[in-house]
Homo-oligomer: A and B are copies of this chain.
């Protein structure tokens, strides 16, 4: 495209590793249990991985799937495959065999790297079209993955990308409607959002990043690339045990990690929880942190950051930036503000809230519209789904499907997923607001609020609640608790206690609960 221009090189996050290997060759890049790799070693392993794939018949544009927890192998795949001009397909390890089979077939993957622990998820599949590379994840010479690296050349790779808008990864959405879709991320978008992450979550060369967030979620919100770019240290982790995480925070002097509030709730409620010597920055996304959680985090010296984004936006695209003057506000007001999703990243255009004609809604903190955006950190499209892409991209904006209000200061605040809003007697009720109120009760672990049909009001909220271990509560107590804190029309009419249904990614499946409530109805609004 432009390789003949002296003043242009195609943006690619692969260059971040090239540079860190050059500038920080002896710095620790990866910590994984007893294993340690310097940047020089990390880079050599990536070159070997890419070269091994070439030996195995890789051709430009091939899709290469990997089913692995947060191991060095998965991190290495984030560089080796894009460096080759391939497309990385990171697969969620919590999926059922049928779901994995769908992704392998839809992506047309030619290679599959599989962590041994997850082999049962593919054991029954017909994988005739694939080359399989097993990872026993010992890092020892007899690990087949290590043998794959050892047999390949450590020589530096040539640049192959001649257009920065070439896709480098395909990340499958959890698919709220129908089958999952492959979200195409480009070299340019990944480069820019990684730079955005450095700036927005405040990374520097001394940052030590703990991999609590799965890398298969939006490539770890681009932190796979951002931590490498800044020359920080990746601390890899197969699974999240809060006690073990508490130990790592001290032993490895962690400075940053990312997670959903659910994980952070487990962290602050761990028996090992204690005030940290050094502040640890926790970037949270997926749902807003509750006032209760924020208060607990403050006591323990965690620095909260609230982000928002989707797979289609390379992970986070907004941040609830915190002006100094907000620190002077009462704690409750601070928590209310922290629940906002905020404004577009430094690398993003304005993130907007629009009506059904894709026109901006008034910035009044009241009018609900759909969150929509455009710019360099929006996916290139859904893989081989031109209609779904065109629908998502209508009117020149990516439509997120999330409903929000737009505050006068430009911050957006989510009110609901588009199909979850409760309209009761003409009044809008945000299920998130009700949920946040309920989780402030000390006995509540987590909660989901959905609509149920109601003869008089059309729809009414119903709360599903999981209690903390050993706690007891009645429906009447919860309703009274809400009525003390919320407009009465917003309070649930019914409460049910028990475990919440969740997706493989740990997201509460509100639609499952809603389907139960609406059984026998033709539609889901009233």
Binding site for B on A (CB under 8 A): 4, 6-9, 11, 15-16, 18-19, 22-27, 165, 186, 188-189, 195, 198-199, 202, 204, 229-230, 321, 323, 325, 343-344, 346, 349-350, 374-376, 378-381, 393, 396-398, 409-410
Contact = CB atoms under 8 A, between A and B. Distances in A.
A188 to B, nearest CB: 8
A4 B396 contact: yes
Nearest to A396: B6
B198 A375 contact: no
Nearest to A229: B346
A210 to B, nearest CB: 21
Contacts of A7: 165, 186, 189, 374-376, 378-381, 398
A27 B344 contact: no
A189 B6 CA distance: 12
B9 A376 contact: yes
Contact of A8 (B23, B165, B325, B350): B165
A409 B25 contact: yes
Contact of A323 (B27, B199, B230, B398): B27
Contact of A350 (B11, B22, B323, B375): B22
A321 B325 CA distance: 35
Contacts of A323: 24, 26-27
B410 A22 contact: yes
Contact of A6 (B23, B26, B198, B374): B374
Contact of A230 (B6, B199, B344, B376): B199
A150 to B, nearest CB: 26
A9 B349 CA distance: 8
Q: Report, nearest first, the 3 A-B pairs whose CB atoms are least far apart.
A: A7-B378, A9-B375, A6-B393
A172 to B, nearest CB: 18
A161 to B, nearest CB: 13
A69 to B, nearest CB: 29
A171 to B, nearest CB: 14
Contacts of A22: 343, 350, 410
Given A9-B374, A16-B346, 4 more contacts: A6-B397, A11-B376, A22-B343, A229-B346
Contacts of A165: 7-8
Contacts of A202: 204
A37 to B, nearest CB: 17
A86 B394 CA distance: 32
Nearest to A231: B321
A375 B9 CA distance: 5
Given A15-B349, A27-B323, A8 B198 contact: no
A33 to B, nearest CB: 24
A338 to B, nearest CB: 15
A299 to B, nearest CB: 24
Given A23-B321, A199-B230, A398 B15 contact: no
A176 to B, nearest CB: 19
A354 B450 CA distance: 65
A378 B6 contact: yes
Contacts of A375: 7-9
Contacts of A321: 23-24
Contacts of A4: 396
Contacts of A396: 4, 6
Contacts of A6: 374, 378, 393, 396-398
